[in-house]
Amino acid sequence: MKYPPYLVTGDKVAILSPAGKISRQVVERGAELLRQQGFLVEIGYHAFDEEGIFAGSDTSRAADMQKALNDKSIKAIFFSRGGYGSIRTHLNLNWSSFFKKPKWLIGFSDITVFHAFLSRHQIASVHGVMTSWFEKDEFLTGSFTEMMELLKGKLPQYSINPHELNRLGSASGILTGGNLSIIQSLRGTLFDISPKGKILFIEDIDEHHYHIDRMIYNLKAGHLLEKISGLIVGYFTAITDGEAPFGKTSAEIIREAVDSYRYPVCFGFPAGHELPNMPLIMGSRILLNVSDKEVKIKTT
C-alpha cells in the first residue's frame, strides 16, 4: 500500500464538492480553519454551484477535481460534504497524473466511492470529517484535531469500550470499507471490495432496518463476509423501521449475518455520521484485538 506524503506547515490543500451541494459559508469557514492549521487553501471554482441536489454539473465537479488531482502543488484534497454524486464525478476523471504522485483524499459517506477506488489501486486515503464537522459550537472537534495529527504523520491508535455483541479475537489486515450503502451499490463494479486479508469497516445513516438487512445479506450472499479477516462496525445513525417493525436493531442484524464466521467483530467504533467521527486510514494495515475488557485498533 502506498501512502501519500504527510502534510507539513505551508502545504497547499484543496476543498472540493464532488457530490451534494453545500453552502458557501460552511466551506469558507472550513477553509479558514485549515489556514489556521498552517495550510494554504484553494477552494474549487465550482464548489458552490448548484444543479438539482448536486454541487453543479458532473462535468464541472469533475473539472475541479481533475485540476486538483493534476496540480502537483496540492498535497491533499478535503471534500466539503458527501450526499450523492461521487460516482458520477469519478466517471469523468483521469487519474494517471495522480497515480504518479498521490496525495491524501479526505472524507466519508459518499466519498466511500473514492476510498474504494484508491483501495483497488493500493493507495491509502483518510476516512475523516468534512467541512461542517471541523468545529462545533465554535470549538474545534476532537475528530478534526485527530485528523490533522494523522495527516501530519501520527498513526491512529484506538482503545474503546467493549460491546455486548462483540466477538472476541485478534486479526491483522488491510482496512477497507466505509458507508454500507455505497459499498453495496459498488458490488459487481471495478470498485467492489476484494475481501481476502481485509478488515471491513461499515457505517450508515437514514436507512430502514430491512434495508440494512438487505445490504448486509448482499455481502453475505456474495461471499464477501466469509472471506474478510475482521469486522469493525461504526455508527448506524437514525435507522428506523418501515411500515412494520423489523424486530432487530442494526447491530443485531449485522451480528446475526456474521454468526457463522470466526473472525473478531467490533461494534460501537466512533466513526460515521455522528461526532466523534474519528479518522481511519483506509488501506492501512491494522491490528484488531477484541477482548472482553476493551477493543484495541492499532495502525501499523
Catalytic member of 60, 86, 109, 250: 109
SS (H, E, C) the chain: CECCCCCCCCCEEEEECCCECCCHHHHHHHHHHHHHCCCEEEECCCCCCCECCECCCHHHHHHHHHHHHHCCCEEEEEECCCCCCHHHHHCCCCCHHHHHCCCEEEECHHHHHHHHHHHHCCECEEECCCHHHCEECCEECHHHHHHHHHHCCCCCEEEECCCCCCECEEEEEEEEEEEHHHHHHCCCCCCCCCCCCEEEEEEEECCEHHHHHHHHHHHHHCCHHHHCCEEEEEEEECCECCCCCCCCCHHHHHHHHCCCCCCCEEECCCCCCCCCCCCEEECCEEEEEECCCCEEEEEC
Choosing from 42, 46, 273, 284, the catalytic residue is: 273
Can 109 be counted among the known catalytic residues?
yes
Catalytic residue, chosen from 203, 207, 229, 250, is 203
Would you call 23 a catalytic residue per the annotation? no
**Quick check: is 51 catalytic?**
no
| Residue of 139, 151, 154, 155 lying closest to 9 (CA atoms) | 151
Residues with catalytic roles: 109, 203, 273
